[in-house]
Structure 1
Amino acid sequence: MKEDDLEKWWSLIYNDEHPEWKKWDAPYYPLRHIEYEKFRDQMSNLIHQGYDRKYLIKVDNEIIGMVTYYWEHESSQWLEFGIVIYLPEFWNGGYGTDALIVWIQHLFDTFPIPRIGFTTWSGNARMLTVGKKLGMVEEARIRKCRLYNGKYYDSIKMGLLREEWEARDQG
């Protein structure tokens, strides 16, 4: 992430009042708009501090998405990741899978974590599919806890152990 990317990245997130990507990325949480200047200042400060928790996904130097990680519980090395592809024309083209292969390898190379995972909802079939493609397994399902558009969905945790990730290339 570079300061030159911030305006384009902000516009992908906030230019549309109801962006298509948000219908899949935890839509039960509202997208809280922030002004560009505040976004720029916050992200510039983080960049200067060496912030490494978000990386932009680019195709032909165009930002199409973002990967991130966060600590669910850092002292026990419980790390989770996330991804969003903002532009629908890049959905179902393997871009998310490719980005996550690089991201997961980076996270395993960077941290002494025994597992990595993500949480999604049962309405996001693409995220569940990419998790399976990456060798992840469903570790938890909290049933009917996400209310969206008048319908209840499950919250789903998927995970992958380091040894499972390393063994995938051996087969």
Structure 2
Amino acid sequence: MYTDNEMMIRPARKEDLRDLWELIYQDEAPEWKKWDAPYYEFNRISWDDYLLKDNVIDQDNDWVIEVQGRIIGGVSYYWEHKPSNWLEMGIGIYDPKYWSGGFGTRALKLWINHLFHTLPLVRVGFTTWSGNHRMIAVGEKLGMTMEARLRKCRYYNGVYYDSIRMGLLREEWESNPSLFNSGES
């Protein structure tokens, strides 16, 4: 578990499942999906089907973001290529009331610290799209470098957008004391 004032990130638990389903799948067209890869079709699933999914939560890879005891989203990672320790991470703040308030930046800062403290990583990164200005700004605030821009490869609402890949090296993170080693508990 890692904390930053009233916010914490922690491994997801079975008792979190209902809250997570409501945040992610309860609405037919959730607001968060307009920012999180909207070029991919959103498939709403029922509560019963959600419970039947294999590996609904993976306590190593899937953590929740909690503010004052309320789950607002999650952070996760997946291996792009595990033999070379190439990991990609993600974040979702599903409750729009918590957008543009710094919660994403703070949660991702805690998550990056966790990943660098617990895994033999040289680099962490994420992929987003040029229409998600807030996610690009989060990466910049955290000292990430735009490593790739694949031009006009994401099509959404009649417009082509770029795919953006941002990354951060361990030595860059560790050389910034305002980011490194914060929030562990």
**TM-score, length basis structure 2:** 0.86
Other-structure match for 1:114: 122
Other-structure match for 1:21: 32
Higher RCO structure (Cα 8 Å, ≥6 apart): 2
Given that 2:13 and 2:59 are in contact with CA atoms closer than 8 Å, whether structure 1 keeps it comes out as no
Distance in 2 (alpha carbons) for counterparts of 1:101 and 1:58: 14
* Aligned pair partner of 2:46 in 28, 35, 56: 35
Other-structure match for 1:71: 79
Other-structure match for 1:59: 67
Superimposed CA distance per residue, residues 27-63 of structure 1 (whole angstroms, 9 cap, x where no aligned partner): 00111222212322436x565xx63111010111111
Secondary structure of 1:113's counterpart equals coil
Distance in 2 (alpha carbons) for counterparts of 1:109 and 1:42: 30
Distance in 2 (alpha carbons) for counterparts of 1:56 and 1:41: 20
Given that 1:141 and 1:154 are in contact with CA atoms closer than 8 Å, whether structure 2 keeps it comes out as yes
Tell me, yes or no, if structure 1 residue 9 matches structure 2 residue 20.
yes
Secondary structure of 1:164's counterpart equals helix
Given that 2:144 and 2:167 are in contact with CA atoms closer than 8 Å, whether structure 1 keeps it comes out as yes
Runs of 4+ in 1 over 3 A off after TM superposition: none
Secondary structure of 1:30's counterpart equals coil
Give, in angstroms, the shift of residue 163 of structure 1.
Answer: 0.1
Give the structure with the larger helix fraction: 1
Q: Which amino acid aligns with 2:18?
A: E
Distance in 2 (alpha carbons) for counterparts of 1:3 and 1:38: 15
Other-structure match for 1:82: 90
Other-structure match for 1:151: 159
Aligned-residue Cα RMSD (Å) equals 1.6
User: What count of residue pairs does the alignment treat as equivalent?
Assistant: 168
Other-structure match for 2:99: 91
**TM-score, length basis structure 1:** 0.93
Secondary structure of 1:96's counterpart equals helix
Q: Which runs of 5+ in 1 are unaligned?
A: none
Give, in angstroms, the shift of residue 110 of structure 1.
Answer: 1.2
Secondary structure of 2:63's counterpart equals strand
Distance in 1 (alpha carbons) for counterparts of 2:77 and 2:119: 11
Superimposed CA distance per residue, residues 116-166 of structure 1 (whole angstroms, 9 cap, x where no aligned partner): 000000000000000000000000000000000000000000000000000
Distance in 1 (alpha carbons) for counterparts of 2:60 and 2:100: 27
